[in-house]
Amino acid sequence: MEKLLQNKVCIITGAAQGIGKAIVERFAEDGAIVYAFDRQLGAMDEWTKLISEKFETKIVPMYCDITDGLIVKDALRSIYKQEGHIDVLVNNAGVVFNRRIGMIMREETELMFRVNVIAMLELIQLVSRFMARIKGGAIVNIASVTGVLGSPGQVAYSATKGAVITLTKSAAKELAMQGIRVNAVAPGVVKTERFLELYETAGEKIDERIKKIALGRLGEPRDVANACAFLASDRAAYISGQVLSVDGCASI
């Protein structure tokens, strides 16, 4: 049976851990050739090898700080030269500082906008040039339920994720002419190491949070990865400019 992403060349940012790692695994299972970008290169060596052997596909971990335009440009050029096409980009890398309005520092806000929004926009700018050459491609941006609903204690972070959502819609309209689809996935609370740690330090009880989720559990990284695989695949050929919430029915 044909796999969902068979032979598609896919770039995933923020791939070293959490949701990004789950996306790499799911894409490899679906037959994709995966380029895994992160600032933590060493953290990807072992498990990418294991997954690549398990699913008999190619996974290439690459050092890439997405805020460094020159590194990003070089990385994309070398992938295009090697593969001859770039089919999918998943913009997953993100940083978060959970602070109330009175406490948020300018440096934290600037860093979040630089990574979560500006670097994402520049990646779309660069990758869409390569995708345009083959008149097609799919881009999936990781937003957040906080960008849809807003969230106390996450004023600046939620603003970056709101920006991701509008950026997604505008890019989808602009790039449609070149056959490129752009969608966003908006996760709720996902059980990654980072988020569990943040919850504990913020003193919020996970049990209380779960009570607000209709499906009665936190999200797993794999839940988000499944949505990304669908939106990246040709099964979603007529879907663009959409925001798919993956939050256990917490945002309606």
Residue 133 CB, shortest distance to ligand NAD, in Å, is: 25
Within positions 106 to 135, which residues make up the interface with ligand NAD, using CB under 6 A?
115
Can you tell me the distance from the alpha carbon of 111 to that of 94, in angstroms, rounded to the nearest whole number?
A: 10
Number of residues that bind ligand NAD (CB under 6 A): 29
Sheet holding 33-38, edge to edge: 59-63, 33-38, 9-13, 88-91, 137-142, 180-187, 243-246
Take residue 200 and report the two structure tokens written for it.
Answer: 């504990």
Least Å from the CB of residue 153 to ligand NAD: 14
Closest CA to 11 of 95, 70, 80, 69: 80
Q: Which CB sits closer to ligand NAD, 25 or 38?
A: 38
Candidate ranges 2-10, 184-192, 200-208, 225-233; the one touching ligand NAD (CB under 6 A): 184-192
Q: Is 238 a catalytic residue?
A: no
Instruction: State the distance between the two ends of the chain, measured CA to CA, in whole angstroms.
Output: 36
DSSP H stretches of helix in 56-190: 69-83, 106-113, 119-133, 145-149, 155-175
Q: How far is the CB of 247 from ligand NAD (least distance, A)?
A: 8
Give me the catalytic one of 80, 157, 199, 238.
157
- Write down the least CB distance from residue 108 to ligand NAD, Å: 13
Binding site for ligand NAD (CB under 6 A): 13-14, 16-20, 37-40, 64-67, 92-96, 115, 142, 144, 187, 189-190, 192, 194-195
